[in-house]
Amino acid sequence: MAMETNNIDVLLGKLRDLDQDLRAMATSDLLDTLKKTEGTLAKDEGDRCMKAFVKLLYDSHNHIQNLAMGCLGQAIGMVDSETTKDAVTSICTEIKNRASTESTALSVGLRVMSSKIAENAKNKALLGSLACPIVSVLTDKPSLPADVVTDVFSALSDVLSYAGAQVAADDETVDQIQNVLLEFINHSNMGVRRRATAVLGAFVVHVPGERSEQALETIFQRYEACSQASEKSILLRVLVTIARQCPERVSRLVPAILDREIQTLDEDNHDARTTALLVFETLVCHCTEAMAPWRDKVYEIGVDAIRYDPNGNFEMDDMDTDSEGDDLGDEYEEDIYEDEDDDSWSVRLGGVKLLAALAKSKLYTSAEVVQNIGSVLVTSFKEREDAVRAEVLVTYAGMVDTVQEEAADALQEQTPKVVKSALSAIQNYSRSTETKQLVFAIFSRLVSAKHDILDGSLPEILPLVTSFLEADDTSGVLQSTPSKLVKANLKLEVLDFIHVFVLRSQVTNEAAEFLVAVKGGVKDNLSSKTFQVPSASFNAATGMVALLASDASSSSAEFIGWYEDMARLAASLVGTDDQGTKESAYVFIGAILQTFGDQIKAETREQLLEVLIQLKGGAIDAPVVLGAFAQAVSQPTKLPKESVVAAAPRVLQIVGALLRQGSTAAVVAACLNTVTTLAQYGPEALGRDSDSVLQSIIAVISRAPESPPVSALHAFAAVCPSVSEGTMRSISKGLLQLFSATNVYDGQSADAMSELFYAVGHTFGALVDGWREEIAENWLVTYGHYAKQRKESSNEAIQAPFPTAVLTNAAQSINALYTGRYQADAQPWSSDFLSAYIFQAPKSNDAVAKVCLGLRALGYAAADKKVPQNDQLSAQLSTHLQSASDDVRSEAAMALGRYVGCYTDLFPSLFAGATAAGGGDSTYAVSKLQAVKVAVEQIVGVGHDSDMADSIWSMVLNYVQNIQDALPDVLAQTLAVLATTFPIKFVPQLASLIASTTRTSTKAFFITTFRTILADRQLSAECEAKIKQVLTRALSGIADDDVGIRRLSLLALYAIVQGKPGLLEEHVSEIEPSLFQQTIVNESLIRTINMGLIKKRVDDGLDARRCAFQCVHMLVRMLPDAVDGRKVVDSVVRGISDDHDIRLLVLQIIHESVAALTPLYAERLDDIADAIREVQSTKLPKKVVSQEIEKHHAVLKSSVSVLVAFVPVAKSAPMASDKFDSLLAETADPSNTELSGYYKELAE
Residue by residue, what is the 3-state secondary structure of 1223-1234? HHHHHHCCCCHH
Averaged pLDDT of the chain: 86
Beta strands (DSSP E) in 1086-1221 are 1086-1091, 1094-1099
Instruction: Considering only residues 1185 and 629, tell me which one the structure prediction assigns the higher pLDDT.
Output: 629
Cα separation of 1060 and 1017, whole Å? 9
- The residue type found at 389 is R
Beta bridge partners of 1097: 1088
List, as one string, the DSSP characters of 156-177.
HHHHHHHHHHHHHT-HHHHHHH
Cα separation of 843 and 914, whole Å? 24
pLDDT at position 1010 over 90: yes
CB-based contact 1239:1227 (threshold 8 Å): yes
Cα separation of 581 and 112, whole Å? 46
Cα angle at 275 between 269 and 280, to 5 degrees?
A: 125
Contacts of 1134 (CB under 8 A, 6+ apart): 1079, 1080, 1081, 1171
Contacts of 764 (CB under 8 A, 6+ apart): 720, 725, 728, 729
Q: 1215, exposed or middle or buried, with CB in 10 Å at 0-12, 13-18, 19+?
A: exposed
CB-based contact 719:693 (threshold 8 Å): yes
pLDDT digits (tens, 9 = 90+) for 723-748: 988 889 998 888 888 887 777 666 77
Instruction: Considering only residues 941 and 1008, tell me which one the structure prediction assigns the higher pLDDT.
Output: 1008
Predicted pLDDT of residue 254? 87
Three-state DSSP class for residue 1088: strand
Beta bridge partners of 804: none
pLDDT bracket for residue 673 (50, 70, 90): very high
- The residue type found at 570 is A
The pTM of this model reads: 0.69
CB-based contact 1034:994 (threshold 8 Å): yes
Contacts of 710 (CB under 8 A, 6+ apart): 748, 749, 752
Give the lowest-confidence range in 488-492, 653-657, 840-844.
Answer: 488-492
Contacts of 451 (CB under 8 A, 6+ apart): 501, 503, 504, 505
Three-state DSSP class for residue 1091: strand
Predicted pLDDT of residue 919? 45
pLDDT bracket for residue 556 (50, 70, 90): low
* Section 305-333 average pLDDT: 52
pLDDT at position 1096 over 80: no
Q: What are phi and psi of 610, to 5 degrees?
A: -65, -40
Predicted pLDDT of residue 1081? 92
Predicted pLDDT of residue 453? 92
Closest CA to 328 of 429, 208, 222: 429
Cα separation of 106 and 102, whole Å? 7
Predicted pLDDT of residue 1244? 64
Predicted pLDDT of residue 1040? 94
pLDDT digits (tens, 9 = 90+) for 1166-1187: 999 999 888 888 877 666 667 7
Beta bridge partners of 1095: 1090
Instruction: Considering only residues 437 and 1188, tell me which one the structure prediction assigns the higher pLDDT.
Output: 437
CB-based contact 659:700 (threshold 8 Å): yes
Cα separation of 712 and 669, whole Å? 8
pLDDT bracket for residue 322 (50, 70, 90): very low
How many other CB atoms are there within 10 angstroms of residue 509's CB atom?
Answer: 9
Whole-number percent of the chain with pLDDT over 70? 92
pLDDT bracket for residue 599 (50, 70, 90): confident
pLDDT at position 367 over 50: yes
Q: What are phi and psi of 1094, to 5 degrees?
A: -105, 135
Contacts of 942 (CB under 8 A, 6+ apart): 863, 901
pLDDT bracket for residue 323 (50, 70, 90): very low
Predicted pLDDT of residue 272? 81
**HSE of 760, CA atoms in CB hemisphere, 13 A:** 30
Question: Which of the given ranges, 290-299, 500-509, 1186-1195, has the highest pLDDT on average?
Answer: 290-299
Closest CA to 388 of 444, 357, 345: 345
pLDDT bracket for residue 539 (50, 70, 90): very high
Predicted pLDDT of residue 659? 87
Where do the H-state alpha helices sit in 1015-1139? Answer: 1021-1034, 1043-1059, 1061-1064, 1068-1077, 1102-1118, 1125-1136
How many other CB atoms are there within 10 angstroms of residue 906's CB atom?
Answer: 17
Whole-number percent of the chain with pLDDT over 90? 44
Predicted pLDDT of residue 376? 95
Cα separation of 716 and 733, whole Å? 16
CB-based contact 222:182 (threshold 8 Å): yes
* Section 433-442 average pLDDT: 92
Q: Residue 328 gets which letter from DSSP? A: -
pLDDT at position 970 over 60: yes
Closest CA to 984 of 1016, 953, 1018, 939: 953
pLDDT digits (tens, 9 = 90+) for 215-257: 788 888 888 888 777 777 888 888 888 888 888 888 888 888 8
